[in-house]
Structure 1
Amino acid sequence: MGENTQELADHGLCSHPRKLLSCSLFALFTLSLIYFIFYSSPSSFASYADLFDQFKTQRATKNTSLPPPLAWLQCDYSDGKWVWDDSVTGPRYDSENCDMKSTEKCVVNGKPDKGYLHWRWQPAGCNLTALDPAGFLRLVRGKRLAFVGDSTARNQAEALVCYLSTVARPETAHRYEERLGRKFWRWVFPAPHGVSVSTYWSPLLVRAEGHSEDYAMTQEAVVLDALTEPWTADADAMDVVVVSAGHWFPRPAMYYEDGEVVGVYSRPDLNKTDIGYLGPYRKVLRRTLEYISANSTGDTLVAVATIAPGHFDPGRSWNHRDACSRTKPYEAVEAEVAAADAEMRKVVLEEVAAAAAAAGRRRRGVRFEALDVTRLATLRPDGHPGPYLFAHAYDRRPVPETVANDCLHWCAPGLVDTFNDILAKMIVAGG
């Protein structure tokens, strides 16, 4: 969910006062957008027009050297290019009757350009075939799949369930919704499959408290040593775990550990040491992986997704109808991974490698992999819903110049299916 700016006391990416303010505003906008896109009425977007103008230049900082992935010796799926696939005749699946957020249903919602459905990710040194739904259900027969984190985890899970629904109809076994949306969802593909897919809403993976009623202002107390339920309660019953969280970390926060304040991020109103958010992100991710490793009771695959950035046009306001109207992927020379995204990606790669090494030493049946999607997602500004958030909202009439946009999440079907194609290869590689 979104672009990120970040700061570590020892890196100084946002340590300068001016950069600190800019980073803070950008993080605030991202969280506000996430909330209002998924949980509010279209009219709620209007109050954020002025705020967005302050972060249009945030993604100008580029990263010139991405480290290689620390997993996937068989094939580096993170490096490649998008190629046009003439064999594609239409969407992989019909999302109209799928159990997913309506804002992801770009075809149903009338997004006029369908080209985004025809691009295929071609890794540099191998081929990535599309997930076969029938074959996938055979592969994971009797297993429990869990997607833990923010709305990017939900986005990916819903796309997978929708695709699998083309060969077997799932039952919705559990729903837990609040004003803020789907907190816990579980689909079950009954016999002969015996497969369940669950989503666990936990955007910071740990407990966080304190926000305004409408989530327009968030200055949360983040408890770094308190992992959240219900995902922790089910950790011993997960066979495949996708952890996708990160977009909620670049926000004003006060961090607690062992009942004490250990630092803040972007809280100049407090006389506390600003430690940035990258360190807390690393600490939370490490504890999450350690917890899963310690509580797993069998062979478990843990895939940690790297950040997948959004694509707001820096030359337009966020609520302009053309905020993300590009209809083709970027060429490699047109877009580099932003430095902030590269830093968060690096954290994931390092922590996954460390968790894998520790699991190997302890001879535990847990396999850790990085679902490294940062580069391939960076190149796809065409893959977002944009203003097409509601069914047939603009049939036979033009899109208003000022409109709510989602340039953060992914159309389904669309690019998000590539995430699941890679996940399937990870599962196959583990036998």
Structure 2
Amino acid sequence: MNLEKLKIILKSHYIAAFFLIALASALLYLTVDNNGVIVREEESQQENLAALLKDRETTKNRDDDVVAAANGTRCNLFSGKWIYDDVSRPLYDEERCSFMLGDYACKKYGRKDSEYQKWRWQPHQCDLPRFNGTALLEKIRGKRVVFVGDSLNKNQWTSMLCLIEYSLNQSTNKSVIRYDNLFVLEATEYNATVEFYWSPLLVESNCDDPDNHYSIRDRIIKITSIEKHARHWTNADILIFDAFMWWLEPTMTLLWGSFGSSDAIYKRVKMKLRRYEMALTTWSDWLEVNIDRIKTKLFFMSLSPYHFYGETWEEGYNCYNETQPILKKDYWGISTDREMMHVVESILEKMEMRGLNITYLNITKLSDYRKDSHPSIYRKFQHPRSEEQLANPTSYSDCVHWCLPGVPDVWNEILYSYIMNS
């Protein structure tokens, strides 16, 4: 299938999706009460919306196959199973990665088992290309690659640095240089950089300090302001975004104006999906105006699942002490927020219809099986644990991030396959 035919096929799917979204919007619209707080219309409309979204999900699944075909494969890279492989895994050693961070260094912080490092993702109808750091560095020669988002995107960026380290020239300075929110590795031999930019909500917020954001519970978001961050991405050649986890708070404060200004307007709101949609709209509008569509390749990582609840494997417990993946076929965790996924998918489809190509890497389901691969208690914590916490490890287990080597390596193998075939 040539590229022009593929574009026609994709466009037909997106047009169909657009009409479904428009119809869904008619069923669930938003109003503003006398205090300016966004509120939902009648809950009975939710069932109709859910049915429409289910139909759109079916269409999206068909599109995944088409997108995979564009990538040079003839299958869906996101549909498969985990296979135990102690021959080709792990792809690197935790102890030998110069870029390893304490947040993801599970072995260093006391984890004794290593089985979590030895699972390989196997798509159903093809093989995932093996990561080749030298080939990737040649592909990005003279280019700037930037991961933008929260600590899960930082998790993936750290994985990427570990994956390419062996391919870096011995004379390369293996120190990451920091410029405020921007963390940069310079691959000098290739005149390339692989960077991470801390922007957990994409738009401007009171959580934008990479060091001092852990204790902020009242999140204040400038829902229409992004230039402060986005100006650092303008000339990137490859941009990889994520934005989910920080939007899960049930209530957040929206800000119009400047922080500390006497005429600023603050509104405390619920409406998780609506505020998330507003921020992503600000983000997509900025990209449409400022990104060079010929030069810059755009990627968006789907929701990274977390395992705080025992669910079906061991009721009452979380990822603590879990050492095996979930092997149940077609598993979806109770914490996976499909409504939020639908919001971002609809935004990306609108971007495509406006001629802004962006690749959605839907790693949610494949990652959801891996309850065994979180740091749990085996990581560096910002503050020492209390005696009460130490007596109850499940109370402070990190079931959000991922040990390295581990699941983010697979995300990067998939990203690698798209970059190499672009």
Q: Which secondary structure does the structure 2 equivalent of 1:236 belong to?
A: coil
Residues 1:265 and 2:264 aligned together? no
Q: Quote the residue 1:106 is aligned against.
A: 106
Structure 2 CA distance, aligned partners of 1:411 and 1:357? 37
Residues 34-73 of structure 1 aligned to structure 2 (within 5 Å): 67=58, 68-69=60-61, 70-71=63-64, 72-73=67-68
- Kindly indicate whether the alpha-carbon contact (under 8 Å) linking 1:159 and 1:417 is maintained by their aligned counterparts in 2: yes
Residue identity opposite 2:248 in structure 1: P
- Kindly indicate whether the alpha-carbon contact (under 8 Å) linking 2:80 and 2:121 is maintained by their aligned counterparts in 1: yes
Q: 1:11 to 1:333 in 2, by over 3 A?
A: farther
Q: Quote the residue 1:409 is aligned against.
A: 401
Structure 1 CA distance, aligned partners of 2:413 and 2:39? 34
How many residues in Structure 1 have an aligned counterpart in Structure 2?
Answer: 343
Query: Per residue, is there more helix in 1 or in 2?
Result: 2
Q: 1:12 to 1:227 in 2, by over 3 A?
A: farther
Q: Quote the residue 1:209 is aligned against.
A: 206
Q: 1:217 to 1:314 in 2, by over 3 A?
A: farther
Gaps of 5+ in 2: 1-37, 47-53, 70-74, 258-262, 382-388
Deviation at 1:107, TM superposition (A): 2.7
- Kindly indicate whether the alpha-carbon contact (under 8 Å) linking 1:205 and 1:228 is maintained by their aligned counterparts in 2: no
- Kindly indicate whether the alpha-carbon contact (under 8 Å) linking 1:221 and 1:253 is maintained by their aligned counterparts in 2: yes
Structure 2 CA distance, aligned partners of 1:377 and 1:89? 17
Q: Quote the residue 1:126 is aligned against.
A: 126
Structure 2 CA distance, aligned partners of 1:100 and 1:351? 34
Residues 151-300 of structure 1 aligned to structure 2 (within 5 Å): 151-168=151-168, 169-172=172-175, 174-176=177-179, 183-191=181-189, 193-209=190-206, 216=215, 218-230=217-229, 232-251=230-249, 252-257=251-256, 264-266=268-270, 276-297=271-292, 298-300=294-296
Structure 1 CA distance, aligned partners of 2:97 and 2:76? 35
Structure 1 CA distance, aligned partners of 2:100 and 2:89? 23
Q: Quote the residue 1:368 is aligned against.
A: 358
- Kindly indicate whether the alpha-carbon contact (under 8 Å) linking 2:94 and 2:404 is maintained by their aligned counterparts in 1: no
- Kindly indicate whether the alpha-carbon contact (under 8 Å) linking 1:77 and 1:372 is maintained by their aligned counterparts in 2: no
Q: Quote the residue 1:36 is aligned against.
A: none
Deviation at 1:91, TM superposition (A): 4.8
Q: Quote the residue 1:356 is aligned against.
A: 352
* Structure of higher RCO (CA pairs closer than 8 Å, 6+ residues apart): 1
Q: 1:332 to 1:89 in 2, by over 3 A?
A: closer
CA deviation string 1:352-375 (max 9, x = no partner): 22212212xxxxxx5311011110
- Kindly indicate whether the alpha-carbon contact (under 8 Å) linking 1:310 and 1:408 is maintained by their aligned counterparts in 2: yes
Q: 1:334 to 1:301 in 2, by over 3 A?
A: closer
Deviation at 1:244, TM superposition (A): 1.0
Q: Which secondary structure does the structure 2 equivalent of 1:234 belong to?
A: coil
- Kindly indicate whether the alpha-carbon contact (under 8 Å) linking 2:91 and 2:163 is maintained by their aligned counterparts in 1: no
Q: Percent identity?
A: 23
